[in-house]
Chain A
């Protein structure tokens, strides 16, 4: 799947550039794209260290355990495969909280940490578990309470009411999160069972 998408992106990119007579752009773009990839990662090193350091303090202080206990009814439904006190849940909670507050650069460190912890529960290391799929679904569709970046852009563009989009954003993210998590839940619990039975 990913192999095909990647191949498609690169080959059509090269093809269109050649068609437009701007093949020189391709070489340039390859090199600058590769550098940008590493630059993003270098930026991430400091943030990862900072947030994972804070997370460790919160973990040792028992804060994560308290949070995990509060939302256990929910995590029990969404992540049945993860034991109630597993450190993965702490990282997932922090990732989702950061997403809700629009703290994009804090969300990625917690998200990567969550994946690492979820991988420890995985019996087939090269295949995604149900919990991973649910987590990624929650992460990409996550409710946004404070779309800080875009409000900043609107302020800069001289909007009369820069925050009028907060309500609509909350609605749209809330709706898509609900749809995605419900789909995931139904897929895990009903459809897949039915699908297997049909295949047999």
Chain B
């Protein structure tokens, strides 16, 4: 039931948005085509402006992961996360999640496949993947796109979001599953 509703929501969300935008625009006599072109023209510049930041982050994160340094970091963090009730298997995911979205999704997929989607680890990995965001990526790319160098308390807030997200995922999974 819930599954069907959610499936329908995600299937219809984008077409629905487009219809609403276009019909509203048409009713309000907006020159829809010209308006679209005008807005879209900015897209290119913004996307190109973030290339240096993306390259810098991808190179650093990839070398950190491929070399095996990521695993070592996860092993160092293991005792700390063990205290709060996280199984050792999900540690790499917890460490990777703020750094790289695609790698984290890869790790979560792997965990779900090897342990099974309906085990505690499978469920926890699913919730963790949906809960926290790629904070590091968002910070560097968003700030980079407008040339901000001093991030101020955004870093602290981003880390707080990751930690509370992780703790809340652990708490709710222990409670329910």
Contacts and interface: CB of A to CB of B under 8 A. Distances in A.
A181 to B, nearest CB: 9
Contacts, number: 345
A113 B146 CA distance: 10
Interface string B43-58: 1101110110011111
Nearest to A124: B150
Contacts of B43: 45-53, 109
Interface of A: 1-2, 6, 9-10, 12-17, 20, 22, 25-26, 29-30, 32-34, 36-38, 40-42, 44-63, 101-104, 106, 108-109, 111-113, 115-116, 118-119, 125-128, 132-133, 136-137, 139-142, 144-151, 153-154, 157-169, 171-173, 175-177, 179-180, 183-184, 187
Interface in B131-174: 131-135, 138-143, 145-155, 157-158, 160-162, 164-165, 168-169, 171-173
Contact of A12 (B28, B69, B164): B69
Contact of A176 (B41, B58, B131): B131
B96 interface: no
A176 B168 contact: yes
A177 to B, nearest CB: 8
B135 to A, nearest CB: 5
Most A Cβ at <10 Å: residue of B56, B69, B130, B151: B130
Contact of B130 (A2, A116, A144): A144
Nearest to B56: A6
B152 A128 contact: yes
B164 A116 contact: no
30 contacts: A6-B60, A17-B67, A17-B69, A29-B63, A44-B50, A45-B44, A45-B47, A45-B48, A50-B40, A54-B18, A55-B39, A56-B35, A109-B43, A113-B42, A115-B142, A127-B149, A133-B151, A139-B133, A148-B10, A154-B112, A154-B126, A157-B112, A157-B113, A159-B122, A164-B123, A166-B6, A171-B172, A176-B164, A179-B160, A180-B164
